[in-house]
Amino acid sequence: MAVSQTQPSTSPTRSPDRLGGVAGNQRLTAELGAVLFVLLAALGFTIPSVRSLMYAHVFLGLLLIPPVGLKLASTGYRFARYYTGDRAYRLAGPPAPLQRMIAPFVVLATVAVFASGVMLLVLGPGAGIWRNLHKAAFLVWFGVTTVHVLSYVTRVPGLAAPDWRPDDTRLGGSGLRRLLVLGSVAVGVLVAAVGLPYASAWTSP
């Protein structure tokens, strides 16, 4: 849910940037964060009984890949614009020091969790090294992501909600942001439907 600590002010008139600029990037990141919070909570529910809930675990894990990828792209875009000296992003400011410190670990652990999960799905129960990596990556991911979520959870609703109000036209790009969020979930459902049969190897006696 990485969003800047400093929110740029928005005027009552529509933003001249049809994509919303810095504020639009903040909104997209927050909206994806809200979606991921719900889906990851559902995925977490399957973990204690993963054997009996393997199909649900695999389906949710695969569904999450496109929204996670889009959120990494959104935050990566902000990172790139800030560190290449874009004036608007420099004025908006960087995340808080703690968030800047843990961000690389959040990204690396997230990639490791999902990549190892996909490898386990493809290779089956015999891929012991990938199972160990998946477990280790999850422990790291859970720790750093908990800190990350707690840092932003109170701000996300205020940033994510406006694009879904039909009467809010102050910031350009709301339709595109909604399309990106819903599209990432739709692609995730398709990916999950294609990959779900691979879970049968994990449910065999």
pLDDT, tens digit, 9 for 90 and up, residues 31-89: 999 999 999 999 999 999 998 999 999 999 999 999 999 999 999 999 999 999 999 99
Question: Which residues in 20-75 belong to E strands, given as ranges?
Answer: none
pTM: 0.87
Name the pLDDT band for 205 (thresholds 50, 70, 90): low
Name the pLDDT band for 99 (thresholds 50, 70, 90): confident
Distance, in Å, from the CA atom of 105 to the CA atom of 124, rounded to the nearest integer, reads 27
b/e map 164-174, b = 16+ CB within 10 Å: eeeeeeebbbb
Element (H, E) at 65: helix 54-83
**The residue to which tokens 């399309």 are assigned:** 179
Does the structure show a pLDDT above 80 at 15?
Answer: no
Name the pLDDT band for 132 (thresholds 50, 70, 90): very high
pLDDT of residue 111: 96
Distance, in Å, from the CA atom of 69 to the CA atom of 184, rounded to the nearest integer, reads 9
Does the structure show a pLDDT above 80 at 169?
Answer: no
First-last CA distance in the chain? 39
